[in-house]
Amino acid sequence: MTKKLLIVATAFVLSACAGPQVTRVQALSDTADAPYQSVLVVSLFELFDTRRWLEDALVKELAAQGVSAVASTSLMNTKTPVTRQTFQAMVDEQGSDSVLITQLISLDSEAKANDSRPEATRIIRPTYYYNVWSVELTEFVEPPFLTMNHEFRLATQIYSVSAKEAVWGIESKSKIATQRETRGDTSFIKDEAKAIVRHLSRDGLIN
pLDDT value at residue 133: 79
Give yes or no for residue 12 having a pLDDT over 60: no
pLDDT value at residue 166: 97
The mean pLDDT value of the chain amounts to: 85
- pTM comes to 0.75
Strand 38-44 relative to strand 12-17, pairing: unpaired
Higher pLDDT, residue 57 or 185: 57
Report the sign of the C-alpha dihedral through residues 54, 60, 66, 68, in that order: positive
Contacts of 159 (CB under 8 A, 6+ apart): 98, 99, 100, 101, 165, 166, 167
Contacts of 30 (CB under 8 A, 6+ apart): none
Give yes or no for residue 54 having a pLDDT over 80: yes
Give yes or no for residue 41 having a pLDDT over 60: yes
Higher pLDDT, residue 167 or 4: 167
* Closest among 166, 165, 174, 167 to 194, alpha carbons compared: 174
pLDDT value at residue 3: 39
Neighbours of 107 (CB within 10 A): 15
- Taken as a whole, the chain contains a residue count of 207
89-130 pLDDT, tens per residue?
A: 999 999 999 999 999 999 888 877 766 666 778 788 877 777
CA angle 70, 87, 102 (to 5 degrees): 65
Give yes or no for residue 11 having a pLDDT over 60: no
pLDDT value at residue 186: 77
157, containing H or E segment: strand 145-160
Q: What percent of the chain has pLDDT over 70?
A: 83
Confidence of residue 131 (pLDDT cuts 50, 70, 90): confident
Buried b (16+ CB within 10 A) or exposed e, 31-66: ebebebeebbbbbbbebbebbbbbbbbbbebbeeee
Strand 165-181 relative to strand 145-160, pairing: antiparallel
143-173 pLDDT, tens per residue?
A: 666 677 889 999 999 999 999 999 999 999 9
pLDDT value at residue 9: 35
What value does the mean pLDDT take over residues 57-81?
97
Give yes or no for residue 180 having a pLDDT over 60: no
For residue 161, the Cα-to-chain-centroid distance in whole angstroms is: 26
Cβ atoms of 148 and 110 within 8 Å: the answer is yes
